[in-house]
Structure 1
Amino acid sequence: MDDLLAARSQMALSLGFHIIFACIGMVMPFFMATSHYKYLKTGEIVYKDLTKAWSRGVAIFFVTGAVSGTMLSFELGLLWPKFMLHAGPIFGMPFSLEGTAFFIEAIALGFYLYGWGKFKPWFHWATGVVVGISGLASGILVVAANGWMNSPTGFDFVNGEYLNIDPVKALFNEAWFSQALHMTLAAFAATGFAVAGIHAYLLLKGKNDVFHRKAFLIAISFGAVAAILQPLSGDISAKDIAVRQPAKLAAMEAHFETSKVAPLIIGGIPDEENETVNYAIKIPGALSFFAHGDFEAEVIGLDQFPKENHPPVMVTHFAFQIMVGLGMIMMGLSLLFFFSIWKRKSWQGSRWFLWLFALATPLGFIAVEAGWTVTEVGRQPWIIYEILKTKDALSPIPGIAYTFYLFTAIYLSLSLVVGFLLVRQIRSVPKASENISGISESQSTNS
């Protein structure tokens, strides 16, 4: 394995691992706060049990996310020193602000975990809300930094030098809003479906029916709303990419030749050598419409770019198809869920209904991984779009393959530890809730 492939593989592994914990860290605190709010309003002990169970899960993912995120920050400097040399002074602001949000999140989480019975109830609840808001802010700021890599701004590039640096303009680059919106909704959809799926499975196993049913309803409510809104954010992103990164859009759609009334390609196997797509379903004019809002608009193809600047079409196209396909499945399940609330509440207790959501547990995170593959692979060969190529930012130090093997072992170990902790956490669901979940604390005291 050569050093460039090893460095890119290490970053892919690190990002792919960290993004799961980042998504959960952005979203789970809102589930926790919602359950806590319901406990404060109703006094039902099941909501208190659920809040405490979820808060322990939030703590596990927070610690793991902190470790993997710290490793990522070191990797940026060690693997891509030329990138950090040029980019650091420009987009350092979002990383600095992200660090501030992270510390606020850590302090608020400490207050929340150890505040039971020590703070006034609504102040205690507010600390949980702060955990969610600061976690969400951290995610958005990191995505803003990635957006800058896709849409570099806030400086003048003159004779190989970065002049007139404006960190605020770099932070609010042209890509940050569409990427942040898309990523935030993806995080809510993925986490909502994952948490709901786990509780649906436990309902199928006959575990603590009331506890898991309430947990399922909270999680899927967040996830379903996000999944239904996600195609709208995807449309915003597609139109943005069509203008800013037409080569990425062309790779996503395996669109080799610039044309008007450009077809939308569903499925298919790209043949990069012959610049064709085999076994695809093509919808005439649909790509023109989704990219520019006009069925007859011209869509730029890969033929407008030198071949050495083409993104890897096969990987980008397949990842995009997976992301969209899974997103549509999740949207369909979301509509089914809301229909059940409206017309068929009895469905929610049916085994077929629960199995659908149990089987959908990993879909959101697979879609997230596929989406980040589109974002990162679709930008290649650039690490800073049209400014600095990935191969030119690589560290000259040899032996990067060995660090890739080392980090792979570390991440596998972390995965096993987190999996063990989560299984133990799920098994420790309070049994008392089965008997007193419908009784408020005040009722219990009076009896």
Structure 2
Amino acid sequence: MENLDAARLQMAFTLIFHIVFACIGMVMPFFMVVSHYKWLKTKDQLYLTLTKSWQKGVAIFFVTGAVSGTALSFELGLLWPEFMKHAGPIIGMPFSLEGAAFFVEAIALGFYLYGWDKLPEKFHWFTGVIIGISGVASGVLVVAANGWMNAPSGFDYIDGQFLNIDPVQAMLNAAWATQALHMTLAAFTATGFAVAGIHAYQVYKGRKVALHTKAFKIAITFGAIAAILQPISGDLSAKDIAKRQPVKLAAMEAHYNTEKGAPLYIGGIVNAETQEVKYKVAIPKALSFLAFGDFDAEVKGLNDFPEDERPNVPMVHYAFQVMVGIGGLLLLAGILYFISIKKKKWLHMNVYWLLFVFLAPLGFIALEAGWIVTEVGRQPWIIHKIMRTKDAVTPMPGIIVSFYIYIVVYFTLSVAVTWLMTRQIKVLNSSK
């Protein structure tokens, strides 16, 4: 295996794991503080039990997110030294600010975990709010750096040199706002449905029904609201991509030929050799409208771009279809939940709880698919239109060994987290 392939696989592998840890770490504190708030208002012991259980989950994912995130930061220098040589001074600001947000989160978490019966109740609760806000801030700042890779700005590129660097402009790049909004809503959707599904399973099994029902309602409320809002952010992201990265849009929809009034493809099997998409459902002129707000707008096809500037079309198209398909399903489930608030008899039907058990992992599958669209869709560029990924990879041999080591480390980390969380659920079910 060549260095480039090994480096790309290692980066993809570690991101697949880290994004799950990071998103749960971003969102879980909000579930915790809502439960805590309800305890302060009602003095219902179940909310206190739930809060203290969730705080342990927050601590676990804070640690695992820190470990996996630290490994990723080392990977940037290990795998992509040429990228870091030039990009480091430009996008160093969001990374340094993310570090500051991380430290604030760590301090607030310390106050929260050890502040019970030692701090004033309202201040103690507020430290939990700080954990959530700083966690989201960390995610938004990291996405700013990724957005810069898709929409590089804040410098002049002259004769292969990066000059006149403006870190603030680089951080506030054109892709940042839409990517950050889409990613944040995706994190809340995925985590909300995953946590709700875990508690729905406990209700289905008849374990601590009152406690797990309360937990389910808190988690699914966040997840449902985010799922309902997600199509709005998705539309904003698609319109932005249509203007800045038309080749990525063409790959997402597997459109090979430029045309006005371009149809939107749903599903389909891509044949890259014949440039056909079989077994698709085509909605006439829908892509032109969604991308440009005009049913007759021209959408560029992949054939308008050099072959060596096109991404892996089948992979991007399938990932995009998975993301959109699951997003639509979770949107419907979110609406169903809000309807069920008035249809209380549904809460006594096993099929209701089983539905949310089934939906539990889908949010994270959509999240991973979305990152594949973002990252693979940008290829062959590591910095869009500036630096190719192959020119950024390390020349040092033996990266495949590093890849195998990372597989072992992340697999071990995942097993440990799974064991800890399973144990925590058992403890919660056995609590009085």
TM beyond 0.5: yes
- SS of aligned partner of 1:295: coil
**Structure 1 equivalent of residue 368 of structure 2:** 369
**Structure 2 equivalent of residue 267 of structure 1:** 267
Instruction: Work out the number of aligned pairs and report it.
Output: 432
- SS of aligned partner of 2:270: strand
Structure 1 residues 62-101: Cα deviation after superposition (integer angstroms, max 9, x where no partner): 0000000000000000000000001000010000000000
- For residue 167 of structure 1, what is the amino acid of its counterpart? P
**Deviation for aligned residue 1:431:** 4.1
Q: Tell me how far apart the structure 2 counterparts of residues 69 and 122 of structure 1 sit (CA, whole Å).
A: 32
Q: Tell me how far apart the structure 2 counterparts of residues 104 and 257 of structure 1 sit (CA, whole Å).
A: 50
Describe how 1:127-142 pairs up with structure 2 within 5 A: 127-142=127-142
Determine whether 1:178 maps to 2:174. Answer: no
Q: Tell me how far apart the structure 2 counterparts of residues 317 and 409 of structure 1 sit (CA, whole Å).
A: 30
- For residue 140 of structure 1, what is the amino acid of its counterpart? V
- SS of aligned partner of 1:119: coil
- SS of aligned partner of 2:165: coil
**Deviation for aligned residue 1:107:** 0.6
**Deviation for aligned residue 1:432:** 4.9
Counterpart contact for 1:82–1:395, Cα < 8 Å: yes
Q: Tell me how far apart the structure 1 counterparts of residues 294 and 349 of structure 2 sit (CA, whole Å).
A: 44
Describe how 1:215-294 pairs up with structure 2 within 5 A: 215-294=215-294
Counterpart contact for 1:109–1:128, Cα < 8 Å: yes
Describe how 1:310-389 pairs up with structure 2 within 5 A: 310-342=310-342, 344-389=343-388
Q: Tell me how far apart the structure 2 counterparts of residues 338 and 67 of structure 1 sit (CA, whole Å).
A: 37
Counterpart contact for 1:154–1:170, Cα < 8 Å: yes
Gaps of 5+ in 1: 434-447
Q: Describe the shift of the 1:397–1:286 C-alpha distance in structure 2 as closer, same or farther (beyond 3 A).
A: same
- SS of aligned partner of 2:428: coil
Counterpart contact for 1:49–1:430, Cα < 8 Å: no
Structure 1 residues 398-426: Cα deviation after superposition (integer angstroms, max 9, x where no partner): 01111111101111111111111011001
Gaps of 5+ in 2: none
- For residue 18 of structure 1, what is the amino acid of its counterpart? H
Determine whether 1:169 maps to 2:169. Answer: yes
Q: Tell me how far apart the structure 1 counterparts of residues 245 and 341 of structure 2 sit (CA, whole Å).
A: 41
The TM-score, its normalising length taken from structure 2, stands at 0.99
**Structure 1 equivalent of residue 297 of structure 2:** 297
**Structure 2 equivalent of residue 429 of structure 1:** 428
- For residue 90 of structure 1, what is the amino acid of its counterpart? I
- For residue 424 of structure 1, what is the amino acid of its counterpart? R
Q: Tell me how far apart the structure 2 counterparts of residues 16 and 318 of structure 1 sit (CA, whole Å).
A: 17
**Structure 1 equivalent of residue 13 of structure 2:** 13
**Structure 1 equivalent of residue 414 of structure 2:** 415
- For residue 392 of structure 2, what is the amino acid of its counterpart? A
**Deviation for aligned residue 1:341:** 1.2
Counterpart contact for 2:207–2:429, Cα < 8 Å: no
Q: Describe the shift of the 1:123–1:163 C-alpha distance in structure 2 as closer, same or farther (beyond 3 A).
A: same
- For residue 3 of structure 1, what is the amino acid of its counterpart? N
Q: Tell me how far apart the structure 2 counterparts of residues 121 and 163 of structure 1 sit (CA, whole Å).
A: 52
**Deviation for aligned residue 1:275:** 1.2
Counterpart contact for 1:83–1:393, Cα < 8 Å: yes
Counterpart contact for 1:193–1:357, Cα < 8 Å: yes
**Structure 2 equivalent of residue 402 of structure 1:** 401
**Structure 2 equivalent of residue 440 of structure 1:** none
**Deviation for aligned residue 1:349:** 2.7
**Structure 1 equivalent of residue 60 of structure 2:** 60
Q: Tell me how far apart the structure 1 counterparts of residues 333 and 52 of structure 2 sit (CA, whole Å).
A: 28
User: Aligned-pair RMSD on alpha carbons?
Assistant: 0.7
Structure 1 residues 94-137: Cα deviation after superposition (integer angstroms, max 9, x where no partner): 00000000000001001101110100000000000000000000
Q: Tell me how far apart the structure 2 counterparts of residues 334 and 146 of structure 1 sit (CA, whole Å).
A: 29
- SS of aligned partner of 1:221: helix
**Deviation for aligned residue 1:430:** 5.5
**Deviation for aligned residue 1:274:** 1.5
Counterpart contact for 2:82–2:394, Cα < 8 Å: yes
Q: Tell me how far apart the structure 1 counterparts of residues 222 and 149 of structure 2 sit (CA, whole Å).
A: 30
**Structure 2 equivalent of residue 74 of structure 1:** 74
Q: Tell me how far apart the structure 2 counterparts of residues 348 and 298 of structure 1 sit (CA, whole Å).
A: 49
Q: Tell me how far apart the structure 2 counterparts of residues 278 and 393 of structure 1 sit (CA, whole Å).
A: 36
**Deviation for aligned residue 1:304:** 1.2
- SS of aligned partner of 1:428: helix
Structure 1 residues 273-317: Cα deviation after superposition (integer angstroms, max 9, x where no partner): 111111111111000011001111001111111001101001000
**Deviation for aligned residue 1:212:** 0.1
- SS of aligned partner of 1:266: strand
Counterpart contact for 2:225–2:334, Cα < 8 Å: yes
- For residue 358 of structure 1, what is the amino acid of its counterpart? V
- SS of aligned partner of 1:280: strand
Structure 1 residues 119-160: Cα deviation after superposition (integer angstroms, max 9, x where no partner): 000000000000000000000000010000000000000000
- For residue 82 of structure 1, what is the amino acid of its counterpart? E
**Deviation for aligned residue 1:340:** 1.0
- SS of aligned partner of 2:262: coil
Q: State the identity %.
A: 64
Determine whether 1:46 maps to 2:40. Answer: no
Q: Tell me how far apart the structure 1 counterparts of residues 398 and 279 of structure 2 sit (CA, whole Å).
A: 42
**Deviation for aligned residue 1:208:** 0.4
Structure 1 residues 195-226: Cα deviation after superposition (integer angstroms, max 9, x where no partner): 00000001111110111000000000000000
**Deviation for aligned residue 1:348:** 2.1
Q: Describe the shift of the 1:430–1:279 C-alpha distance in structure 2 as closer, same or farther (beyond 3 A).
A: closer
- SS of aligned partner of 1:256: coil
Describe how 1:75-90 pairs up with structure 2 within 5 A: 75-90=75-90
- For residue 91 of structure 1, what is the amino acid of its counterpart? I
**Deviation for aligned residue 1:272:** 1.2
- For residue 43 of structure 2, what is the amino acid of its counterpart? G
Describe how 1:184-199 pairs up with structure 2 within 5 A: 184-199=184-199
- SS of aligned partner of 1:396: coil
- SS of aligned partner of 1:429: helix
- For residue 43 of structure 1, what is the amino acid of its counterpart? K
- For residue 106 of structure 1, what is the amino acid of its counterpart? A
Structure 1 residues 348-367: Cα deviation after superposition (integer angstroms, max 9, x where no partner): 23111000001111000000
